[in-house]
Amino acid sequence: MSPRVVFLNRYFFPDHSATSQILSDLAFHLAERGENVRVIASRQLYDDAAADLPPRECVHGVEIHRVGTTRFGRHALLGRAVDYLSFYVASALRLLSVARRGDVVVAKTDPPMLSVMISALARMRGYRTVNWLHDLYPEVAAELGMSGVKGPVGRILISLRNASLRRATMNVAIGDDMAKRVRGMGVRAAQLSVVTNWTDDESIRPSDAATNPLRRAWSLEGKFVVAYSGNLGRAHDSQTLLEAAEILRGDPDVVFLFIGGGRGLIDLAAEVEKRHLKNFRFEPYQPREALSRSLGAADVHWLSLKPGLDGLILPSKFYGVAAAGRAILIIGSPDGELAELVAKHGCGYCITPGQGAELAGIIAALSQDRSRCRQLGANARRMLDERLTKSQALERWRTILHSAAGGASPMEAHRE
């Protein structure tokens, strides 16, 4: 019998979170091409811990095994840790019954440190393991100020994590900066590949913002719209944007649009109300099928990554904005991977965190030069089409998994 591919991640279809959508795309793509694909996930949704999805079903040829876990949710750190622990135990038990010797087991990074568990089981049961690295824990937690993962505890976690990566058949980083960090952990080049995340660039296409129906629905007609789409969390800097909005509060043409959720968005909305800013509009997450319209409602999008997190996280919303053909404002380190992409391809600007006046100046200039803004957006879409499409990424993944399944020497770290 040919090897199967078994994915592990807390969330899977129909969940809308970024890691779930990316995994769902890949799993369905492989199944469509005749691969034997199974997924082990929880029964929850990212934003609904009380959800109770079916424990087992087959969707688009993918056999889904959903395990029962605790349901404390994402709001309290202790409850989240208990949810993680329960998923480790439940998914390990299910993996032992689902996978057999020689199968390729792909571990994502939700929950963190999943590679450690998979590595231990692989040594006992003869699995081939691939670690799909969307972030690097515990470094992310330490950078965000979680004292519990610093000192001796952090060093132990890093040691365990590094050992699991070195024992894997393959590790897949989502960016070049992350790959550099992974190489520094002692992972050989032959065990490391780079495949960026992606978006549905076939359905998300550049469009004329002025005729976007959401402009009318959201009372944005005639405005210059600066948008943020997705989850706003602890890794993202919104203070620079707030400072820029304060400076531009007297400009009736500029509106700041937020589409999504997250703890950071709740805090931002409270701060907007406290400062009596009238140039903000907040909308909930939009269905995936409406993403082209919601991204296209803006003239320019901004995204951010706090300094110190480069190479640890890479915001996947970047690809959706580029697919929509919109200019991109990066609030983060000018040496970061996304900032370098934006500069290299001429599709936006990078603003150092804390430089709200500079951000306000760029927004004001673009609002007065819409043709320049549209050209930046066209450059973003051209960059995506050249090297970052969904089909390109999915085929890279298929090549990597075939190599892992066949036991062939995997390709060296690269971006094909």
Give pLDDT tens digits for 262-295: 888 999 999 999 999 999 999 998 888 899 999 9
CA 10 to chain centre: 14
Residues in CB range of 201: below 8 A, 6 or more apart: 319, 323, 384, 385, 389, 390
Residues in CB range of 322: below 8 A, 6 or more apart: 199, 328, 347, 380, 381, 383, 384, 388
CA 62 to chain centre: 22
Q: So what's the pLDDT on residue 408?
A: 42
Structure-token match 């406290």, residue found: 274
- Strands, DSSP E only, in 90-141? 104-107, 128-133
Q: Would the pTM count as exceeding 0.75? A: yes
- Strands, DSSP E only, in 221-340? 224-231, 254-261, 280-283, 300-304, 327-331
> Considering the domain 209-387 in this protein, what is its CATH number?
3.40.50.2000
Q: So what's the pLDDT on residue 399?
A: 95
Does an H or E element contain 147, and which?
Answer: none
Q: So what's the pLDDT on residue 148?
A: 77
Q: So what's the pLDDT on residue 411?
A: 33
Beta strand 327-331 with 224-231: parallel, antiparallel or unpaired?
A: unpaired
Q: Is the dihedral of CA 92, 96, 101, 103 positive or negative?
A: negative
Structure-token match 């995506």, residue found: 384
Interatomic CA distance for residues 24 and 20, integer angstroms: 6
Coil, strand, or helix at residue 201? coil
Q: Which of 223, 243, 238 is nearest to 299 (CA)?
A: 223
Q: So what's the pLDDT on residue 16?
A: 84
- Domain 5-198+389-406 of CATH type 3.10.20.30: no
Ranges under pLDDT 50 in the chain: 1, 408-416
Strand partners, 37: 5
Q: Where in the chain is the domain with CATH 3.40.50.2000?
A: 5-198+389-406, 209-387
- Strands, DSSP E only, in 92-244? 104-107, 128-133, 170-173, 192-194, 224-231
